[in-house]
Amino acid sequence: MDLKAIQTFQTIVNFGSFHRAAEEMNYAQSTVTMQIQKLESELGVALFARGRKQIRLTEAGRLFYEQSLHITRQVEHLQTSLSDFMSGEGGEVRMGVTEPAASHRFPAILAEFLSQFPKIRISLDISNTPILSERLLKGNLDIAICSPAEMNTELYFEPLFVEEFMLLMPKDHPLAIKDMIEPKDFQGYRLLITSPTCPYRRKLEMILQESGMTSIDTMEIGSMTALKHYVASGFGMALVPKIMLNPAPEGTTIRAMSGSQVNMSIGILMKSSENPLNLAGIKLVKYLKQWEWK
């Protein structure tokens, strides 16, 4: 079934005349007549009851007109969507983000991005770096905002900002009298840590080992976002992203760690250039690189 013939049929109905439709569409009237005859032949029904002075729709014509409006709207929508996709103004980007960036940074970032590109759709997958890396490799994500993945030649990492960590402890904690805390100070006190798959925990364990701290009292808390609440309840102290401590929970205090080894580099993780992004993804990556990270 020819879409142009359907559009011609709708124009005839809207203007009430084959002649007026031909003028509107810049067709010869014979072309309009031929299109309708072909359409009626394909459908096996008469669409118009032709009279001497005017034309009117048959019952089949009325039904076809009502249903065909939906068809042409869908086709027009598809054509617009494809045009937006090809220009990068539309399309979908499947993005993964780790915490705390997902909760504390990206609501504002994505709101501003989508205000500039309202036709782009973004789906957000919030998880840790190992899981996001796996989903990238399987093709379930286009990009991820996370820490560097373990060595993998199929993935490319470009840093965006450094996630700064601070030591959060109860106000009455013995270490609260110090302005600067060193890893060796953890000895004898409980340290709240995240799950074994968390890159931050692996980095923290490496720092503690390098400082000679092979055995300290720890308590595993599966969520980084929950750490500060367990500190506030007196379970121990924890290294928490600074962005999550504004304000710090009541009854806690913040101390800096010596050096910057515990801080985490966060950036864009994606497949190599052999698996290029669509234009919408390229726009998002460019936008993230230009964002003023704090």
- Across 40-56, average pLDDT: 81
Using left for φ > 0, alpha for ψ between -120 and 50, and beta otherwise, residue 139 falls in left
The band of 113, judged by pLDDT with boundaries at 50, 70 and 90, is: very high
Of residues 124 and 276, the one with the higher pLDDT is 124
Output 229 or 21, whichever has higher pLDDT: 229
pLDDT of 129 reads 93
Using CB atoms within 10 Å of the CB of residue 278, give its burial: 0 to 12 exposed, 13 to 18 middle, 19+ buried: middle
According to the model, what pLDDT value does residue 166 have?
92
> Binning pLDDT at 50, 70 and 90, where does residue 32 land?
confident
Express each pLDDT in 117-159 by its tens digit: 998 999 999 999 999 999 998 889 999 999 998 776 789 999 9
> How far from the centroid of its chain's Cα atoms is residue 197's Cα?
23
For residue 279, with 0-12 CB atoms within 10 Å meaning exposed, 13-18 middle and 19 or more buried, which class applies? middle
Residue 83 has pLDDT above 70, yes or no: no
Give the count of beta carbons closer than 10 Å to the beta carbon of residue 50. 10
Q: What is the DSSP letter of 177?
A: G
Percent of the chain with pLDDT over 70: 93
**Mean pLDDT for the stretch of residues 245-262:** 88
Half-sphere exposure (Cβ direction) of 82: Cα atoms closer than 13 Å:
6
**88 pLDDT higher than 80:** no
Whether the model pTM is above 0.95: no
Q: How confident is the model at residue 288 (pLDDT cuts 50, 70, 90)?
A: very high
Rounded Cα gap, residues 180 and 146, in angstroms: 28
Interval 53-70 mean pLDDT? 85
Tokens of 291: 């964002």
Q: How confident is the model at residue 273 (pLDDT cuts 50, 70, 90)?
A: low
Confidence (pLDDT) at 19: 85
200 CB-contact burial (10 Å; exposed 0-12 / middle 13-18 / buried 19+):
buried
Give percent of the chain with pLDDT exceeding 90: 43
Write down the pLDDT at residue 248: 92
Q: Are 249 and 228 in contact (CB under 8 A)?
A: yes
Q: What is the pLDDT of residue 165?
A: 92
Structural domains of the chain, ranges and CATH numbers in brackets: 3-87 (1.10.10.10), 91-162+265-290 (3.40.190.10), 165-262 (3.40.190.10)
Q: Which amino acid is at 212?
A: G
Q: How far apart are CA 139 and CA 143, in angstroms?
A: 10
Tell me: cis bond preceding 100? Omega within 30 of 0 counts.
yes
Mean pLDDT of 13-24: 86
pLDDT at 54 over 80: no
What is the arithmetic mean of pLDDT over 55-60? 87
Residue 128 belongs to what H/E stretch?
Answer: none
Residue 162: per-residue pLDDT: 94
pLDDT in tens, 193-249: 998 888 888 888 888 887 777 678 889 998 888 999 999 999 999 999 999 998 999
Q: Is the pLDDT of residue 24 over 90?
A: no
Contacts of 156 (CB under 8 A, 6+ apart): 269, 270, 271, 272, 273
Q: How far is CA 132 from CA 63, 149, 217, 266, 274, in A?
A: 50, 9, 30, 13, 19
